[in-house]
């Protein structure tokens, strides 16, 4: 039996387990399994890793940054963005990768058009991957968060009007807390804006609904999820 899994908190609404177990069925990989591992602190990861036949793990909120300290090797991208969402276990070594980068890049770049300025909501591990992609593609950005240098309450009208790409990297709006949404001035949005939410469950968050009501182009994180998951699979099988 080859084992894979997802480490994080509040995983009952994650699609990763469904995605991979469907993939195993489709490929007739009956000796493969994918499970959710909910943990309360990063030290509990050691017990999970000690399992026999564990090949790889995905990492999600809130451990993408914290997990790095227990890894043996990290990829060049991880060195830059300080965030991991995929671990390969090879010869008892833990190797960290980030497939959020390729997932986000391939899902957003075809629809960006001529837009050159972005506002990123949140400063966690997923935000680091988003910043990496935007920087690589020469798109200017500003990051706001609850506790960072730039806070939501400090946003002015121009921050919303001039940044025609707005990206939510926070868990606000994710099931089961689907009634929450980032605190920005939605009235300032218009059809020139591209509003992207990394959340994929629900399919349309209140954040995206509010943007759509203002005529914005919107996109959720479903395509990003599939791309990054398939990239994880490639890493585990390489």
d(C-alpha 110, C-alpha 63), whole Å: 29
d(C-alpha 112, C-alpha 171), whole Å: 23
Closest CA to 81 of 143, 126, 144, 119: 126
DSSP at 151: B
Query: Which CATH entry fits the domain spanning 2-98: 3.30.450.20, 3.30.300.30, 3.30.420.270, 3.40.50.10860?
Result: 3.40.50.10860
d(C-alpha 16, C-alpha 169), whole Å: 18
pLDDT in tens, the chain (238 residues): 999 999 999 898 789 999 999 999 999 999 999 999 999 999 899 889 888 899 999 999 899 999 999 999 999 999 999 999 999 999 989 999 999 999 999 999 999 999 999 999 999 999 999 999 999 999 999 999 998 889 999 999 999 999 999 999 999 999 989 999 999 999 999 999 999 999 999 999 999 999 999 999 999 999 999 999 999 999 999 8
Which spans in 88-170 are helix H? Answer: 100-112, 125-136, 157-162
Instruction: Please pick, among 3, 17, 64, 219, the residue that the annotation labels catalytic.
Output: 64
What integer pLDDT is reported at residue 12 of this predicted model? 83
Q: Do domains 2-98 and 101-224 have the same CATH topology?
A: yes
Domain ranges of the chain: 2-98, 101-224
pLDDT in tens, 174-230: 998 999 999 999 999 999 999 999 999 999 999 999 999 999 999 999 999 999 999
What is the DSSP track for 171-187? STT-TT-TT----S-GG
3 state DSSP class of 95: strand
Give the domain 101-224 fold: Rossmann fold (3.40.50)
64 among known catalytic residues: yes
* pTM recorded for the entire structure: 0.92
């Amino acid at each position: 039996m080859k084992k894979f899994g997802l480490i994080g908190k509040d995983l009952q609404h994650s699609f990763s387990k469904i995605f991979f177990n469907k993939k195993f069925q489709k490929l007739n990989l009956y000796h493969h399994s994918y499970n959710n591992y909910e943990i309360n602190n990063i030290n509990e990861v050691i017990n999970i890793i000690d399992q026999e036949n564990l090949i790889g793990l995905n990492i999600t909120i809130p451990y993408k940054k914290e997990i790095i300290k227990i890894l043996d090797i990290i990829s060049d991208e991880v060195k830059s963005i300080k965030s991991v969402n995929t671990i390969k276990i090879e010869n008892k070594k833990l190797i960290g990768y980030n497939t959020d980068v390729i997932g986000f890049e391939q899902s957003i770049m075809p629809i960006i058009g001529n837009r050159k300025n972005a506002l990123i909501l949140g400063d966690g591990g997923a935000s680091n991957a988003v910043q990496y992609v935007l920087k690589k593609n020469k798109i200017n950005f500003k990051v706001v968060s609850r506790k960072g240098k730039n806070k939501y309450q400090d946003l002015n009208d121009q921050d919303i009007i001039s940044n025609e790409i707005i990206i939510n990297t926070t868990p606000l709006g994710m099931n089961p807390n689907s009634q929450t949404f980032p605190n920005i001035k939605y009235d300032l949005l218009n059809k020139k804006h591209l509003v992207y939410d990394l959340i994929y469950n629900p399919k349309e968050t209140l954040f995206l609904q509010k943007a759509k009501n203002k005529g914005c182009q919107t996109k959720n994180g479903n395509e990003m999820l599939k791309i990054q998951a398939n990239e994880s699979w490639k890493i585990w099988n390489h």
